[in-house]
A and B are shown apart, each in its own frame.
Chain A
Amino acid sequence: MEDFEIEMLRILEENARISCEELAETLGVSAETVKESLRKLEENGVILKYKAIVNWEKLQEDYVYAVINVKVSLSREKGYDDIARRIAKFPEVHAVRLVSGEADFQVVIKGKTLKDVAFFVAEKISTIPEVRDTVTHFVLRTYKEEGVTLFADEEDRRLAFTP
């Protein structure tokens, strides 16, 4: 990995829509080098996806998110990885994490309505044989997502000229 690539990834993490030309100008390499390097990084899975962080609450098109704490029982045949994969395969599942504390997994579900999510958990998650218990927490409001605050930020109060 070259130095400019690390820097490039940091920029992309903040703004995935920046053009190759602009990246090249800021990083001091050619646009060709940027394109080549992006292709490579995409190919070997360093860059997984380019996506937007949407504040759906701003629209009528609201989604329902829920954080589900899932307790499982392990066996010789079925470990954490096996169970996690099974849960993760559902498109309704937004995130799956193995966590410390009372639960084993923290699963984030995205659905259209409260009912959707509740029934999805009841029908698809709870029924997995290794799942012993689930606790569902519906998300009421999101204040920060992926490092971005969703409330009005501070305005620039600096004077136009300072020596």
Chain B
Amino acid sequence: MQTKKTEDSRLRRRVAKKVEDLRPSGIRRFFDLVIGREDVISLGVGEPDFPVPWRVREEMIYSLEKGFTSYTSNLGLPELREGIVEYYRRFSLEASPSRVLVTTGASEAIDLAIRAIIDPGDRVLVPEPCYVSYKPLITICHGEVISIPTNPSFKLTKETIEKYVDEKTKALVLNYPANPTGVSYTKKELEEIAESVVEHDLIVISDEIYAELSYDYKHVSIASLNGMDDRCIIINGFSKAFSMTGLRVGYLIAPDDIFNAVLKIHQYCMLCAPITSQIGAIEALRSLDEVEKARAEYLRRRNYVTKRLNEFLEVKKPEGAFYAFPNIASTGMSSEEFAERLLFEKNVAVVPGNVFGECGEGYIRMAFAVKFEKLKEALDRMEEFVNAKG
């Protein structure tokens, strides 16, 4: 059949419905607003302000000089996978390298985990507010997102899980320390969550990308709890602890059956993570003292931000990650209005909380991944802004 190839006369839709129906990320709009503005202090950046350790960069440069530019095994470099196993012992987990897959950033790992386990109609529990990519990725797989609002504590509990879980529920996405709330879980709190997980035979997708940035207690991987190893897909990477955001290298640790499924998808879509980044990652795992220094600095900022914010807004002390998530309801503004006016009037950029789920309305996310002086200046401006409205 001959058809004229104009937009109007197309016989079928070109973009898949499930993709067309996805909502674009709410951050995008603010991105456009900030372009061309001078003197903006951005607390909207979800990436560390520390440079990638120089030793790591040197290793990558040297590897290029030596000609390491080929594919690696689908699984990733053996030395890196062994390094990851050794490294994860600090979060109380004993894994075997055969269950570690190196991915192109933790983002790929999240996508793989979801695609490997979700059949159409499977339900996935997603505690909100949460990182923006879980829900769309589940939707693309025709899974059903069950949003669990967790405010005002932002902590998932056994009771809340019990309220939302049913026989069609297959998995739970857990991200701790959490973006955007800074909430994390102690071993005891995780044990309670684990009870529900076992009882309802769920799989946990545990996004532990901020594990290094736990301030009040040691990060414990939920997979290390009794009987949980076989139910957890651990997601982690080198972006937040080692600032290697643009180098795109992450990893996933999963039980054998899920690991094999994940590997199938990975070998067809990504083949392997960039070799230069993998070589950098091996060196990063030998530069843990640099992470220590960064954590100490974030901790200082965490204490300062919490104290300052509580003088004019309400905020829970973040237990981890580098985000504060204050409640701005007292100003009478919506999250978006607050963020927009703060940008226009005071040149401070923050992310409105509703971007991270409906229950994030009334909050804003502020990343304290900026130099202390800038953070101080931003808080001064915010205080002026809030007090002028009050």
A→B interface (CB under 8 Å):
7, 10-11, 22, 25-28, 154, 156, 158-163
Q: Assuming A7-B296, A156-B49, is B34 touching A161 (CB within 8 A)?
A: yes
Chain A residue with the shortest CB-CB distance to B41: A160
Between A11, A27, A158, the greatest number of chain B beta carbons within 10 A of the residue's beta carbon is seen for: A158
* Chain B residues, CB < 8 A from A159: 31, 45
CB-based contact A28/B303 at 8 Å: yes
* Chain A residues, CB < 8 A from B304: 22, 25-26
Q: How many contacting A-B pairs (Cβ < 8 A)?
A: 55
- A27-B303, A160-B42, A163-B46 are known; give 15 further A-B pairs, CB within 8 A: A10-B296, A11-B300, A25-B304, A26-B304, A158-B45, A158-B49, A159-B31, A160-B44, A160-B349, A161-B34, A161-B42, A161-B45, A161-B351, A162-B44, A162-B45
Per-residue interface assignment for chain B, residues 292 to 307, with 1 indicating a CB less than 8 Å from any chain A CB and 0 otherwise: 0000100011011001
Using C-beta atoms within 8 Å of the partner chain, give the interface range for chain B. Answer: 20 to 34
Per-residue interface assignment for chain B, residues 39 to 52, with 1 indicating a CB less than 8 Å from any chain A CB and 0 otherwise: 01010111101010
Between A27, A156, A158, A161, the greatest number of chain B beta carbons within 10 A of the residue's beta carbon is seen for: A161
Shortest distance from the beta carbon of B294 to any chain A beta carbon, whole Å: 13
Query: Does B132 have its Cβ within 8 Å of any Cβ on chain A?
Result: yes
Between A22, A27, A162, the greatest number of chain B beta carbons within 10 A of the residue's beta carbon is seen for: A162
19 contacts between A and B (CB under 8 A): A7-B296, A22-B376, A25-B307, A26-B303, A26-B304, A28-B303, A28-B307, A158-B49, A160-B40, A160-B349, A161-B31, A161-B42, A161-B44, A161-B349, A161-B351, A162-B46, A162-B47, A163-B27, A163-B179
Chain B residue with the shortest CB-CB distance to A7: B296
Please, how many angstroms separate the alpha-carbon atoms of A22 and B308 in the complex? 11
Per-residue interface assignment for chain B, residues 123 to 139, with 1 indicating a CB less than 8 Å from any chain A CB and 0 otherwise: 00000000111000000
Shortest distance from the beta carbon of B210 to any chain A beta carbon, whole Å: 14
